[in-house]
Amino acid sequence: MKKWILYTMIGMLFVSCKKDQFDIESPNVGVFVQMLKSETYDAYELNEKGERLWLKMPRFRQGHIASLIELSKDTTHIKSFPTNPISSRTPRPQGRDYFILGECLLWIVEALRGGGSLDPYLIDASKEGVEKYKGVTSTEILMISDKYRQWWNSYKNGDWKGNDPLGSTSYRWM
């Protein structure tokens, strides 16, 4: 009887630990966002020695777009985010040592749409010189999030890949 209780407790511990793990293949957007904000997202690509290389992007799909856009209103500054490992540029705008969460979530939407941006930040192409590459503000992210929401509401049942949410604006992904 004591062994049965011990095995049951161990089994319950194993099941509860597995349930708390983040599934990169079938991600939950809300859990991903909370992990980024609490700096607990740790799905790293590892080298042959088991050393961490870079954070891996969860396998988001079309069914995640509405949640990504909804949560893109969050302009929390975060320290880490799974960026593109083949980009030779810094993954943040000039002079910024943080990511803006909502901007990063919209970058995921843009990647699902088929956009070719290597880095998760926007610029205002109407600005000149160095000012152009300083990125956008949190206030601008809120406005851009609205553009993506309008785009999704208009095209989610149609050509959502072929219509650029930012086409009528001066904002561009780097």
pLDDT for 160 equals: 97
* Beta-bridge mates of residue 99: 78
* 4/49: higher pLDDT: 49
Distance CA 116, CA 120 (A): 11
For 126-167, what is each residue's pLDDT tens digit?
A: 999 999 999 999 999 999 999 999 999 999 999 999 999 999
What single DSSP character describes residue 157? Answer: T
Q: Taking residues 4-30, report their average pLDDT.
A: 62
Band (7; pLDDT cuts 50, 70, 90): very low
Burial class (CB in 10 A: 0-12, 13-18, 19+), 140: middle
Relative to beta strand 52-55, strand 44-46 is antiparallel
Check: pTM over 0.85? Answer yes or no. Answer: yes
* Phi, psi angle pair for 7, to nearest 5°: -65, -40
Please, which contacts does 148-155 make with residues 24 or more away whose CB atoms are closer than 8 Å?
A: 148/69, 148/72, 148/106, 148/109, 149/69, 149/70, 152/65, 152/66, 152/69
Burial class (CB in 10 A: 0-12, 13-18, 19+), 151: buried
pLDDT for 1 equals: 53
For the chain, the domains span 60-173
